[in-house]
């Protein structure tokens, strides 16, 4: 991993922080192993089943189908019967974007579902590509005979033993509802609350489904129903004389077998889709990097995210320093001089932000930097130094030696001057839940800052949004931005350009471009979800004195109060100066 890797960063962020960049949390819908308000169904079970049904139409022989999000267009089929599907489809509606597909969300959803209910952490790879129409039929149904079930799983790429493992690992959470399968489960007293016959006696992800089956005490209706036509779990489980089921009697074997068979399930994708490498937790991650104009000042923002073991106390003495170099002028490219600052604030995340990170035993501490930048000097690259003040040397995080190089400063989005108006264009009733929703056209006024030492021939923006209610289409628009002399940047060297982008989704992201002198400069994948309600955070005061190798003077606002930084800066060997 080398920064910048926008797709890796987006996938890693959603998996391990559970939320997208505006803070809205996918994981909190399901975590901790939640039940649905109203139906009291297991949300985790609904999400896991969703992933299986999306994948189950894969055909290994011709490479069609697989985890591609086509399930949202197939919910009227008998093989996809159940209100849990509709609710899950609407749970996920708000999350896909240009770099994280709906099918990746479905996979991450299944991973959260298993992890939050006590199951293993399923390895995740991203890069699935979304379908925009219904795909093949072929998902197994409880009335199918053993031959059809076996053929269905063979087409998906799983042999008999793997079919048994998949069904056992799937049917450890949730159950069968009276509302969906009245022939299997009688209705309860309240017509609005389905009677759910759980597959086993625990709500957790565990092997009770196996041990209760083998001991003969199972209540799994797909095994014990008197309607033998519908006893698909019985047919599947005993199809090899119970030998695979017996191999799953140890809890740890069950967990590791489910982990690997589910990884294969989630990685079953249409031919031609190439998945990323496994998205592993980055112990050190740089987030939120942007140049911006706030309160008529050029600022640079970045966060350093460090992992913190849950079972250890965070080191209150730690100092984190961001260092950077000028891009222009006498000290360009770090010629003998470096600037530095402490964070404007330090925020610890709740260990519950993602069940995956929680189960790994970590939470995050984020060191947030906002520093003023002189536009005549700009910034070429930055890096960090972490000093634990425990007698060991400070650690430098510099992107494998190269530093975090800012690709360009020619064009950037200015959120503080941009704005969104929400124009209601329809209302809808959410299927089954009778929740009234409203659909909006979001009218974005986009403001970009563009360096004026060259005159760009074109300034334009691509807007992308795949988080559209009901997933009928994705928004992908290109809008030219015009020089807007009624706006003042207050920053010498930058002009402001603006334009209007209409969006009917929930999560517009922007790629901003300026073409100048034959080159096109791009700021890629900028979120807009924070517009109009992000509190202003004043920049820190960077180190303003030449630093001799022995020390410095200065102080900075810090979570632990006003902390003298001479000791931390003494380890910064580079010369820090003020122009």
558 contributes a contact to ligand HEM by CB under 6 A:
no
Number of neighbours of residue 520 by Cβ within 10 angstroms: 16
140 contributes a contact to ligand HEM by CB under 6 A:
yes
Q: In the set 166, 293, 371, 450, which binds ligand HEM (CB under 6 A)?
A: 166
Q: In the set 20, 98, 171, 451, which binds ligand HEM (CB under 6 A)?
A: 171
Strand partners, 487: none
135 contributes a contact to ligand HEM by CB under 6 A:
no
Q: Using CB under 6 A, which residues numbered 45 to 104 contact ligand HEM? A: 45-46, 48-49, 52, 82, 84
**Distance between start and end Cα atoms, the chain:** 35
Q: In the set 236, 417, 448, 481, which binds ligand HEM (CB under 6 A)?
A: 236
Which part of the chain contacts ligand HEM (CB under 6 A), choosing from 37-45, 201-209, 429-437, 480-488? Answer: 37-45
Shortest Cβ distance from residue 272 to ligand HEM (Å)?
24
Q: How far apart are CA 235 and CA 452, in angstroms?
A: 72
Number of neighbours of residue 339 by Cβ within 10 angstroms: 26
Strand partners, 405: 381
Q: In the set 18, 65, 170, 542, which binds ligand HEM (CB under 6 A)?
A: 170
39 contributes a contact to ligand HEM by CB under 6 A:
no
- Which one, 201 or 534, has the nearer CB to ligand HEM? 201
| Nearest C-alpha neighbor of 91 from the set 26, 38, 16 | 26
Strand partners, 382: 324, 404
| Nearest C-alpha neighbor of 363 from the set 303, 279, 285, 305 | 305
412 contributes a contact to ligand HEM by CB under 6 A:
no
- Which one, 48 or 386, has the nearer CB to ligand HEM? 48
Shortest Cβ distance from residue 174 to ligand HEM (Å)?
2
176 contributes a contact to ligand HEM by CB under 6 A:
yes
Strand partners, 395: 386
Q: Which two tokens stand for residue 39?
A: 């139906």
Shortest Cβ distance from residue 33 to ligand HEM (Å)?
13
- Which one, 135 or 174, has the nearer CB to ligand HEM? 174
Peptide linkage before 32 cis (omega within 30 of 0): yes
415 contributes a contact to ligand HEM by CB under 6 A:
no
Shortest Cβ distance from residue 61 to ligand HEM (Å)?
20
149 contributes a contact to ligand HEM by CB under 6 A:
yes
- Which one, 198 or 410, has the nearer CB to ligand HEM? 198
- Which one, 153 or 444, has the nearer CB to ligand HEM? 153
| Nearest C-alpha neighbor of 302 from the set 510, 528, 95, 539 | 539
Number of neighbours of residue 470 by Cβ within 10 angstroms: 13
CA distances from 90 to 72, 141, 321, 473 (A): 9, 24, 42, 15
Shortest Cβ distance from residue 147 to ligand HEM (Å)?
12
Q: In the set 175, 463, 505, 542, which binds ligand HEM (CB under 6 A)?
A: 175
Q: What angle do CA 469, 442, 133 make, to 5 degrees?
A: 30
366 contributes a contact to ligand HEM by CB under 6 A:
no
Q: Which two tokens stand for residue 320?
A: 């984190």
Which segments within 373-415 are labelled E, that is strand? Answer: 381-387, 395-397, 404-405, 411-413
Question: Please, which contacts does 223-226 make with residues 24 or more away whose CB atoms are closer than 8 Å?
Answer: 225/184
The residues of the shown chain that bind ligand HEM, judged by CB under 6 A, are: 41-42, 45-46, 48-49, 52, 82, 84, 140-142, 149, 166-167, 170-171, 173-177, 180-181, 232, 236
């Amino acid at each position: 991993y080398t920064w910048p890797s926008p797709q890796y960063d987006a996938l890693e962020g959603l998996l391990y922080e559970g939320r997208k960049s505006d803070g809205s949390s996918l994981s909190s819908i399901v975590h901790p192993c939640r039940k649905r308000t109203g139906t009291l169904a297991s949300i985790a079970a609904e999400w896991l089943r969703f992933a299986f049904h999306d994948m189950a139409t894969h055909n290994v022989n011709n490479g069609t189908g697989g985890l591609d999000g086509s399930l949202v267009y197939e919910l009227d089929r008998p093989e996809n019967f159940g209100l849990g599907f509709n609710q899950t489809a609407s749970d996920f509606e708000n999350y896909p974007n240009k770099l994280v597909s709906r099918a990746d969300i479905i996979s991450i959803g299944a991973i959260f579902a298993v992890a939050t209910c006590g199951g293993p952490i399923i390895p995740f790879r991203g890069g699935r590509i979304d379908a925009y129409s219904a795909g093949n039929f072929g998902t197994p149904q409880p009335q199918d005979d053993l031959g059809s079930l076996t053929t269905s799983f063979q087409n998906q790429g799983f042999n008999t033993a793997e079919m048994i493992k998949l069904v056992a690992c799937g049917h450890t959470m949730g159950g069968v509802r009276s509302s969906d399968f009245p022939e299997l489960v009688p209705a309860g007293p309240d017509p609005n609350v389905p009677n759910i016959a759980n597959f086993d006696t625990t709500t957790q992800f565990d092997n009770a489904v196996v041990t209760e089956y083998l001991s003969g005490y199972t209540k799994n209706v797909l095994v014990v129903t008197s309607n033998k036509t519908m006893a698909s779990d019985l047919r599947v489980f005993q199809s090899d004389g119970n030998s695979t089921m017996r191999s799953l009697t140890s809890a740890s074997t069950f967990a590791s077998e489910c982990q690997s068979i589910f990884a294969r399930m989630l990685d079953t994708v249409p031919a031609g889709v190439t998945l990323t490498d496994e998205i592993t937790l980055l112990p050190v991650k740089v987030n939120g990097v942007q140049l911006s104009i706030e309160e008529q000042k050029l600022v640079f923002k970045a966060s350093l995210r460090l992992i913190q073991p849950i079972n250890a106390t965070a080191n209150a003495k730690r100092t984190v320093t961001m260092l950077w170099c000028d891009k222009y002028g006498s000290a360009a490219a770090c010629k003998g001089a470096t600037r530095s600052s402490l964070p404007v604030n330090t925020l610890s995340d709740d260990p519950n932000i993602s069940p995956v990170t929680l189960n790994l035993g970590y939470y995050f501490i984020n060191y947030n930097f906002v520093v003023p930048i002189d536009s005549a000097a700009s910034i070429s690259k930055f890096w960090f130094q972490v000093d634990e003040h425990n007698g060991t040397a400070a650690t430098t995080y510099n992107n494998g030696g190269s530093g975090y190089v800012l690709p360009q400063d020619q064009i950037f989005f200015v959120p503080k001057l941009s704005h969104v108006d929400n124009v209601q264009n329809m209302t809808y009733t959410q299927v089954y839940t009778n929740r009234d929703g409203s659909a909006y056209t979001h009218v974005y006024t986009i403001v970009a800052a563009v360096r004026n030492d060259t005159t760009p021939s074109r300034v334009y923006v691509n807007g992308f949004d795949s988080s559209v209610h009901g997933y009928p289409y994705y928004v992908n628009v290109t809008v030219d931005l015009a020089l807007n002399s009624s706006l003042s940047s207050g920053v010498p060297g930058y002009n402001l350009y603006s334009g209007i982008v209409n969006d009917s989704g929930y999560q517009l992201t922007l790629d901003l471009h300026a073409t100048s002198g034959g080159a096109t400069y791009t700021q890629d994948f900028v979120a807009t979800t924070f517009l109009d309600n992000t509190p202003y955070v004043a920049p820190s005061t960077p180190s303003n004195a030449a630093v001799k190798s022995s020390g410095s003077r200065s102080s900075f606002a810090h979570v632990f109060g006003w902390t003298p930084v001479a000791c931390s800066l003494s380890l910064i060997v580079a010369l820090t100066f003020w122009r």
